[in-house]
Structure 1
Amino acid sequence: MRNIKTSKKTYKKLIDKIFLQTLGLFIIATVIVFFIRSIGQGEIGDIITNIIRYIYDVDLESARLMYFQKFRSNIDIIIVGTIIILFAIFYKVFLSWFTKYFDEMIAGVNGIANREQKISMSPELRFMEDTLNQIKSDLEKSEQAESELEARKNELVMFLAHDIKTPLTSVIGYLGLLDETPDMPIEQKAKYVNITLKKAYRLEKLINEFFEIARYNLNSVLLNIEQIDLSYMLVQIADEAYPQLTASEKEVTLNTPQDLLLNADSEKMARVFNNLLKNAIAYSTNNSVIEISAESKENNVEIRFRNQGMIPQDKLDTIFDKFSRLDDARQSATGGAGLGLAIAKDIITLHGGTIYASSDQSHSTIVIEMPSTSHAK
């Protein structure tokens, strides 16, 4: 009901204008018809009789007779004919008035594509003018955001391409040394092998970043909803991250009920949890604990990833944007493409859930709220 009232108020000027125009035409037509009806009465009849008298050069009685024969006896036919003619004329005028609004709307829609031109319409179409200008503004902002995003993506790809050369050169160099020096001391050989392996891992990570950027498109993804043992999945995620946790001397604690179930796409939710854990490992302080917890709350399942380390307040609203990173500088050791959290948000949104971040002086928390029965949006 509220929307209907708002709609009527929005169209009020247009409705009033059409009503006044229609009323004006009706009044004019009525006046003309009454004028014709009154032709045979009083002074108007005498005037017409005198006109006939002078035109045909006849006496008064003959003029009156002609008047009655030509006008008075055919007054009904004259009135009907006049009404038909007036209706055709006024209808044409009314359509011209009304179609003018359609012309303005079409011009306004065409004006959306013209950045230089501001859309302007009649006062009674102000509601349409405001709507189209808002759409135009939103499209321009969206285009600008897409352009900036594409520029950031291209810049990131260029940085990654440059960074790939460094570990690749090291791998080739150390493998060349190992190949050229077969009698190299065991300690030195082990050292070179270890360096080569680290550089190869780094190279693999950078290549994976390229694939991540290339395949990032969740607009047409279909979800395969099934029942997930959430506790078991989170244990698996933590186990798979054991090498990264060990390397950074960090650990994960899990606090989830054993019987907690979630209806969702298991493959995509695993990707979400992997991304969140990788992010927590990358940006938490050394020798710290990453806490993962989950619980059922009314009609939602709430999952939390909490780690030591603060997220700046100005970053809380942007960390889920594509190619956004907490460290704006390019860090080859831990830097990623900045897609992990953006992908996580898109997957959660597809499930009808929400994801957000909070932070205090010592800890950061990412919270996922999933409906008990998930469905694709």
Structure 2
Amino acid sequence: MPSADYFTSKEHEDKLNAYKKFAENVAITLGATSSEAEKQIDEAIKLEIQIANITEPSEGRRDYETMYKKFTIEELTNKLPEFDWLKYLTETFSAANITLTTEQPVVVYALDFLTNLVQILKVTPKKTLANYLVWRIIMNRVNNLPKKYRDMKKDYHERIFGQQSETPRWRECATFVADNLGNAIGRLFIANYFDEEAKKSAKEMIQNIREAFNELLHEVEWMDSSTIEVAQEKANAIVERIGYPPYILNDTVLTNMYYHVDYQSDFYFENVLTTIKWNAMINLKQLGQPVDNEEWLTPPAVVNAFYSSTKNEILFPAGILQPPFYSKGYPKFMNYGGIGMVIGHEITHGFDDKGRQYDKDGNLKQWWDDVVIERFKNQTQCMIEQYGNYLVPEANMNVRITSTFHSSMPPFIN
């Protein structure tokens, strides 16, 4: 389901029924009787509705300073004794041969949610919990199952989102390879399609746009001079990553990234499970290791750009430094209107409602005073109301300014 309110709002009752039917059809195809599927899926979805009811709306989940809570496992256990956190985490990390103690620090971003969740788990039958977990795993991997399962998902999506064209199988396979073997694909991509001149041009544009941004800060009426000064320091400290990480040109490094991947040409689903296990192992083994600031957050062939609050860095993969966003054959004004627009957009993420909570070094720290924050919130609320009044005549609906607003919000306006 697209969001928690689809489980809880009467407005979406027909979509919830479509979701139930999807789950029942999958269960029946896997061998359950019609009556048993209906009964067990109904209980699992009742649990999912309970979870949806305690889920913080997406807007609230962007207040990282409020949400961030750090405990030891012992402290978390004292707060939420109904759940055996040490056993759960120990079992999880044992796959990576990592031993945990009660002194291990853990960061919790949803303490209220966990508090409510453990109460739900206490009174929910184990069979319902098992059915719910199995269903969530199956739903997550439907695209990797045979066509009859994918057709069920397609029918469900048509009920939820309207008529949709089916993604060609070749594209799904190409996407899977690109998502999971991104650096290997990236090595081939940059060898065949990336012009090194793009890196030099992008670096020059970033510097010019950064300077223009710093000048515009002086026109922001709701910021005081001291905040503007610190904002400029943060803008100047933004690290740019352009094109690709140098380490993927090293054959040894690239080979070591995939040494444990053993794909079999006749076992597609097993290959998917191998990839999931491999990715999980990489993440688990990072516990206790120093942060690698040179590691890229995305592979080179991706057609997108990114800003990281915790690293205060902007990242422009080789995939987006291509037409129509950029070409060395374009006049400068076209490149500034293409990739230049993207550069400016990513820089502003360091100062939007999420980025403002992190300082120039990527630490979660309030560097705006309360007065400036209040002015910022008033300014953004004004924009929400302005765009929320726009009517889409074809749908007879006003524009909904919620989850998409933060990604498109230009925060530095007067």
* TM-score (norm. length: structure 2): 0.22
Structure with the bigger RCO (C-alpha within 8 Å, sep 6+) is 2
Higher alpha-carbon Rg? 1
* TM-score (norm. length: structure 1): 0.24
